[in-house]
């Protein structure tokens, strides 16, 4: 199809491979480019984690006001939020969801996964018929797996080795990280498909992914994500964007979200990319994510004309 070729050329010109699914939230129009290909999900899978939290809250199984303590020992590593704190913090479950979705806090995510349970998240995904999506372990499992693939007992040992590595040792470690299961084998890590994530978002925006209150709460927090340089790049300021991004080691760059156009049309978009060269052409790839979504939305609006 012409739209498929145009989107694939756009990704290639930016220095990446990509897959995409865009669905009309309120209608039948859709575009899929590699939409059923398994992909490394990275942090976009924080969306189904949040959905499960809100579902259990609506069922009376947990209280979003419940306060938890997060100590420095065993806290999941990450580049933002509580992952960076040196001291113990106390926070509510509801605020952990905010930290997870707005700034992609890994420590907050794993506390929530431990609280709601991997089995319950899997059951919800299965009940929504999202067969290509799986969270086989918390984020600390993903990081420890990378450490193991790099020749160390886990992530903590890898980071300590990297801190004192010579330039040649650093090069070897980076090569081992880039060849790890977390970056090369979706079937062994956090995985999804573009179609699954677009379908999930359409269900959330139609109040069909759980109780209406749970869906509304998830929509509200996703609208507050700080990242605005992927999907939003393809659209004018008057288009509302509620999204969740995901990145991994300069190779994986993803974003999923719902675009609310003036006039009321809504489109669920899921775009996943893999850079041809690690940490190269980041701005171009980010822009391509938005541009590809914009092409697909235009195609949906015009009926392919």
Each residue of 182-238: pLDDT tens digit?
888 899 899 999 999 999 999 999 999 999 999 999 999 999 999 999 999 999 999
Phi-psi region of 117 (alpha: psi -120 to 50; beta: other; left: phi over 0): left
Each residue of 103-131: pLDDT tens digit?
999 999 999 999 999 999 999 999 999 99
Residue 304 confidence class, pLDDT cut points 50, 70, 90: low
Q: Which CATH architecture has domain 2-136+190-302?
A: 3-Layer(aba) Sandwich (3.40)
- What average pLDDT does the structure give for the chain? 95
Token pair of 289 as six digits: 């994510």
H-helix or E-strand containing 70?
strand 67-70
What are the Cα distances from residue 63, in Å, to 66, 68, 116, 137, 215?
Answer: 5, 11, 12, 24, 16
Coil, strand or helix: which one is 135? coil
Residue 48 confidence class, pLDDT cut points 50, 70, 90: very high
What are the Cα distances from residue 255, in Å, to 109, 122, 165?
Answer: 17, 21, 33
Residue 41 confidence class, pLDDT cut points 50, 70, 90: very high
What ranges do the domains of the chain cover? 2-136+190-302
């Amino acid at each position: 199809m012409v739209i498929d070729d145009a989107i694939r050329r756009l990704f290639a010109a930016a220095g990446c491979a990509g897959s995409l699914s865009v669905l009309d939230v309120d209608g039948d129009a859709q575009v899929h480019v590699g939409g059923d290909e398994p992909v490394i999900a990275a942090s976009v899978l924080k969306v189904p984690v949040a959905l499960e939290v809100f579902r259990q809250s609506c069922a009376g199984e947990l209280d979003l006001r419940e306060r938890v303590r997060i100590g420095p020992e065993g806290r999941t590593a990450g580049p933002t939020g509580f992952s960076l704190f040196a001291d113990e913090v106390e926070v509510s479950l509801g605020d952990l969801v905010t930290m997870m979705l707005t700034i992609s806090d890994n420590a907050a995510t794993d506390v929530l996964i431990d609280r709601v349970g991997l089995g319950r998240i899997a059951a919800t995904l299965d009940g929504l018929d999202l067969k290509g999506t799986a969270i086989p372990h918390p984020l600390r499992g993903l990081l420890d797996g990378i450490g193991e693939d790099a020749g160390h007992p886990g992530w903590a040992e890898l980071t300590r080795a990297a801190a004192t590595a010579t330039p040649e040792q650093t090069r070897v470690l980076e090569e081992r990280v880039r060849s790890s299961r977390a970056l090369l084998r979706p079937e062994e890590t956090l995985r999804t498909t573009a179609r699954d994530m677009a379908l999930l978002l359409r269900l959330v925006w139609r109040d069909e992914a759980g109780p209406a209150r749970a869906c509304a709460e998830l929509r509200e927090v996703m609208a507050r994500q700080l990242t605005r340089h992927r999907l939003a790049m393809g659209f004018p300021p008057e288009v509302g964007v509620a999204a969740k991004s995901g990145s991994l080691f300069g190779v994986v760059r993803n974003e999923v979200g719902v675009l609310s156009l003036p006039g009321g049309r809504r489109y669920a978009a899921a775009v996943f990319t893999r850079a041809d060269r690690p940490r190269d052409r980041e701005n171009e790839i980010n822009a391509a994510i938005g541009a590809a979504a914009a092409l697909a939305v235009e195609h949906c609006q015009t009926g392919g004309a």
